[in-house]
Amino acid sequence: MNTLLIPLAGPLQSWGTRSRFDDRDTESEPSKSGVLGLCAAALGIDRAEPVTHLSALAFGVRVDRPGILMQDYHTAQLHPGQRGTHTSLTRRAFLSDAAFWAALHGDPELLRDLHAALRNPHWPLSLGRKAFVPGTPVWYPDALRPQGLLDALRHAPTLRRNADQTDSPYRLIVDAHEVSDPPRHATPGERRDDPSAPFSERRYALRDVLQWVERLPHLHATPEVPA
């Protein structure tokens, strides 16, 4: 079993899981449905096609830069016949200047296909919304790792800048069944973002997750210079 790492960084991203009508939310980290949607676009999978092979993959996220939560307001005018104009106000939340590693773990052949598709995607890729394009490539040369999901996330290179607080801990959110020895301070939770049907049907199942923060000093160690 292998793990595929996907860097997700850009000026704007939005990973909604509870959006209803005019209120468009975002989670504080990428959702499984959002990342699988990006993968489906790379592979050329239509929204009406099943994605059970993708949803069978285990999922995890490492937060390198949490970004800034922001909100935008939009108005849209509707013209329902001769009765006048109706103006609809929408609120849309998004993350500004955030950076994450997403990880998918499972079928090695599927992960190899995904890795190739991310380099040459069938459709344009976005970070949760079509207008939010990646600021850096989502294809990473060394992305396929012969490791478990958690080990791969812990050893992915940092996406922090030199100006960031490099000694601050990283937040990890991982499928609970992938963590055999969870940290004592890990917090259990649920996410309703696991596609249980084609994306066009908008049906999502719950998945159990564990969330915690930990320091990863090896990511910021000064390289040894040969004598």
Q: Which domain holds residue 32?
A: 2-69+95-220
Distance, CA of 170 to CA of 218 (rounded, Å): 12
Q: Is 128 left (phi over 0), alpha (psi -120 to 50) or beta?
A: left
The answer to whether residue 225 sits within a structural domain is no
Q: What angle do CA 199, 201, 205 make, to 5 degrees?
A: 75
Give 77-137 as a DSSP string: EE--TTS--EEEEEEEEEEEEEEEEEEEEE-HHHHHHHHHHHHS-SS---SSSTT---SS-
Residues linked to residue 92 through DSSP beta bridges, in sequence order: 24, 72
Distance between CA 190 and CA 181 in Å, rounded?
A: 19
Please indicate, yes or no, if residue 209 is contained in any of the structural domains.
Answer: yes
| Residue 111 main-chain phi, psi, to 5 deg | -65, -35
Burial 190-200 (b: 16+ CB within 10 A, else e): ebebbbeebbe
Whether 82 is covered by a domain: the verdict is no
Residue 51 lies in a domain: yes
Residue 76 lies in a domain: no
Helix (H, G, I), strand (E, B) or coil at 118: helix
pLDDT band at 226 (very low <50, low <70, confident <90, very high): low
For residue 75, being part of any structural domain is answered with no
- Separation between Cα atoms, residue 188 and residue 212, nearest integer Å: 9
> Residue 84 domain-assigned?
no
Q: Identify whether the C-beta of residue 51 lies closer than 8 Å to the C-beta of residue 45.
A: yes
pLDDT, tens only, 46-55 = 999 999 999 9
Q: Structural domain tally of the chain? A: 1
Digit-coded pLDDT (tens) for 101-158: 999 999 999 999 999 999 999 999 999 999 999 999 999 999 999 999 999 999 999 9
pTM for this model (two decimals) = 0.90
Amino acid at 80: P
List the CATH number of the domain containing 119: 3.30.70.2660
Segment 189-202, tens digit of pLDDT: 999 999 989 998 88
31 dihedral zone (left: phi>0; alpha: psi -120 to 50; beta): beta
Q: pLDDT of 68-117, one tens digit each?
A: 988 887 777 666 665 667 777 777 888 999 999 999 999 999 999 999 99
The predicted pLDDT at position 80 comes to 61
Q: Is residue 226 part of a domain?
A: no
